Every structure is written in C-alpha cells, then in structure tokens.
Structure 1
Amino acid sequence: MTIDITNLSPTEKKEFIAQARELEKQEKEQRAKDMQALEDIAKEVVPASFALLQEASDNLAKAKAQVFRDFRDYLLLKIETMGVKSNQQTHTVSFNNQSVKLGYRITDGYNDDAGYGLAMVHRFLGTLAKDDNSKKLIGALNRLLQKNGKGDLDSKKVLELRQIADRDYPDTDLQRGVEIIQNNYSPKLSKWFVEAWQVDSTGVEKSLPLSITAVNLPEDVDLTFLLPKED
C-alpha cells in the first residue's frame, strides 16, 4: 500500500516520519547484528578450516617426498640398465592395473640478450607492411611471438617461426633474429610432480585425485545454494 504523505495532517506526518526513522534505526541495528554474526562465524571456522587444509597440504607434501624416495633406486637402476637420457622429464612405472608417473615440468624462459633478436625480428617485419596480404602475414608471424602470462615466449612457436624463416627468409634479419632468440633459450624448472591412476574392471582409466580441487565432494554435501538460479 502506497501512502501519499501530502494527504496527511501535520500530526500524522510527524508520526509517519518518526515511524520511518525508527524502522531505519531497526534495520541498521539488524545489519550490525548480522555483520557481527558473520564475523563470529568466520572467527570460528576460518582458523579451524585453515588448520585442516594445512594438515592436508602437509600430508600431500610428505606423500610426494616419500614417493620420490621410494622410487629413487628404481629410477637409478632404470637409467643405468635402459640407458635413459638424462633429459627425460617423466617416468611412468606400472604394475598390474596401477601406474605412477613421476617427473618434473619446465617453463620456457629466455636470457636478456633474446631481446636483441626480438628487436631484429620486429624491425624486419616492419619492412613487410606493404599491402593487405603482407599485413596478414605480419599478423600471423607476430602471433608466434606472443608472450605468455609470465612474459616469456613459447619455445614451440619460436621453433615454428625459425622454420618459416629458414624456408622463406634465409639470410635476413628475421632468420638472424630468431637464431639469437633460440640461442638465448633458458628453460626453468617449474615443479616436481607425481600422478597416479588405475584401470578398473571395465577397462576405464581413472586418475587418483592428488589436489584438493580434483577431489570430488561426497554426495551428501549439498552446495546447490551457491549456484546461480534460473529465472
């Protein structure tokens, strides 16, 4: 019901304003109580949850270290017996229907001098801008020089650019620049990892979740209230 305050008497207006102010006061007090309730819940659950997650993280770290210790003799013997190359990044060991994969990942990286090669490449590309076709070519070549989120070039794309330079633009600043970039390639060790999986009775390969994100929640944990509702 909408009330037209202009139709109220002075006394009724005062009562209406007083009621509105009282209602506003009550709403502010209720919000303050709700905010305090949220803070009280956070005070209780954040430390407890953090401690639980810290324990899970510590246990994963211990398990990861133990797995590498357990496989040390196996990997040393494998390298000696099978002549495995020292730059092999992963090793998969299987028994019956279970497999464990150990190794390390590297991320692309380049020394500062790669910047000189990059400048030569861009200078050469600038000489190609003559018509629409050449602009399209420049766009395609520039995409091979796009940097990732960490500001590094993609070594696979640089290799692709080198192949184009060797084939189509020999003895040019493009070829020389890409060569400088490749000569300054300096990959960095990213992380040591462990993965595991097993093949079930139906022949389906199922990975063992080893991160808290990958682990499925039990079916009795209902979080649908957090999902967007359909209009």
Structure 2
Amino acid sequence: MTQTISLQDLTPEQRQQLLQEAKNEEKTAKEKRANDLKALDELATESVPASMQKLIEASKILEQAKGEVFNNFMELLKMKANTIGIKTNQQSHTITAGKQSIKLGYRVTDGYGDNAAYGIAMIHKFLESLGSDAATKKIMNVVFRLLQRNGNGDLDSKKVIQLKQIADRDFPDTDFSRGVEIIQEEYKPKLSRWFIEAYQTDGTGIERNIPLSITSVDLPKDIDLTFLLPTD
C-alpha cells in the first residue's frame, strides 16, 4: 500500500530537496526531448538524400520506359489510323496479344473559355426572375450545384450536360437554354497527361493490372509497417 506524505509533515529542508528533485527531473526530461529531436533530425539527414536519389532513379526509369513503349506502338497506331481509321475524339487505344494487353492514350481535364461566365450569369438572371416559390427554389438549388466550379476553377462537363437536359426539358427557348449553349460553345478541354496501363490474365483467368505507379506497387512482403496503423 502506497503511503501518502503531506508537505505539512516535511521540514523546510525536505521540501527544498523535493523541489530540487522535481526541477532536476524536469531538466532531464527536457534534455532527453532535445536529444531525441536532434536524433530525429540526424536520421532524416541520413535517410532523405539516399531515398530521394532512389526515387529520382525510379522516376527516370519509368520515364524512359514510357517513352520506349509509346515508340514501340508508334508504327502500329499509324497503321491502325490508315487501315481502320481513328476517331478524332478517341483518347485511348488497347493492343492485345494473347493474355496481355497494353492500353495507352491521353487524359483530358475540363476547361472553359472566359465567355462561359456570360452563360452562367444569364442562367442566374433567368432563375432569379422566376420567383421564390418552393418548386423554383428546388430547381435553383439543383442548377447552382451543377454550376459549381472544381478546385481548378473549371466547370464539370458532365454537369453541364445535365444542365442541358434540364434546359431542354423545362426551359426550352429561354435565356436558361441560351446560357447553357454559350457555356457548351466555350468548352475547351485541356490535355492532362499521356498514360500507359498494362494488364495480363493470370492462371485462374483473372485479368490483373501491372502496377506502374509507386503508389500502386505493393511493398515487399518482408516489410512490416503495421506499427504505423491505428491500434483500435
């Protein structure tokens, strides 16, 4: 059983000794934290450069492989264009041989010209002229959500198509529909990146993708990082 000691029972010298011990413990703890932080900085200084070099090398290898793969299929794609034709809006091509497939192409992100703002303003003005009854407010809320811009400040082309459907169904030949037409005319998609995807069918008949990004690649099985995971 732990015995409780009251400060009132201690002599001034004993109190002074306890205070000094507490100060010494606090000082020791601060020094340990400082040393631990210094050790962390030293470990980072030791680990970051070597790891960064390894990642730079991996990035260069992927870049080189990407270029070589596109070059490998350059003649095939030209022949495909001449033989069966390639649609101008076809963004990807899949080439298959046996159980292996490679898909390559480009991705685009949505983009709209400056005049799209006039179309948006026209839609807003039209909706404000409808009144403020419950049904109108419901439509306005839907339309305003569809007109929200993404993190890059652009409209979502899929949502603009939904706007067009609403305009054609509920507000044909109005400033609403004309505003949507202005927005659609200002659609200017932007090339995002060239990509390569690879797949192969395993012995069980399941098609599996080949990881080509460092995020997609599995860690080696002998690396255990479970200590970083939540314990609950």
TM-score computed with the length of structure 1 as normaliser: 0.96
Per the TM alignment, residue 146 of structure 1 is displaced from its structure 2 partner at its CA by 1.9
Cα distance in 1 for residues equivalent to 2:171 and 2:154: 24
Cα distance in 2 for residues equivalent to 1:3 and 1:79: 92
Of the three residues 173, 176, 179, the one matched with 2:175 is 173
For the 8 Å contact 1:128–1:138, the answer to whether it is kept is: no
Per the TM alignment, residue 7 of structure 1 is displaced from its structure 2 partner at its CA by 3.0
Per the TM alignment, residue 3 of structure 1 is displaced from its structure 2 partner at its CA by 4.7
Count of residue pairs the alignment pairs up: 230
SS state at 2:114 partner: coil
For 1:209, give the aligned amino acid.
P
Per the TM alignment, residue 175 of structure 1 is displaced from its structure 2 partner at its CA by 0.7
Of the three residues 202, 205, 224, the one matched with 1:203 is 205
Identity of aligned residues (%): 55
Residue 92 of structure 2 aligns with which residue?
90
Cα distance in 2 for residues equivalent to 1:4 and 1:181: 80
For the 8 Å contact 1:128–1:135, the answer to whether it is kept is: no
Cα distance in 1 for residues equivalent to 2:36 and 2:185: 62
1:49-81 C-alpha deviation (Å, 9 max, x unpaired): 111111111111111111111110010000110
For the 8 Å contact 1:111–1:185, the answer to whether it is kept is: yes
Residue 133 of structure 1 aligns with which residue?
135
Residue 144 of structure 1 aligns with which residue?
146
Of the three residues 159, 162, 167, the one matched with 2:161 is 159
For the 8 Å contact 1:129–1:138, the answer to whether it is kept is: no
1:28 matched to 2:37: no
Where structure 1 has 5 or more consecutive residues not aligned to the other structure, the ranges are none
- Output the aligned Cα RMSD: 1.3
For 2:225, give the aligned amino acid.
L
1:27-54 C-alpha deviation (Å, 9 max, x unpaired): 1111111111111111110001111111
CA distance 1:174–1:31, shift in 2 (3 Å): same
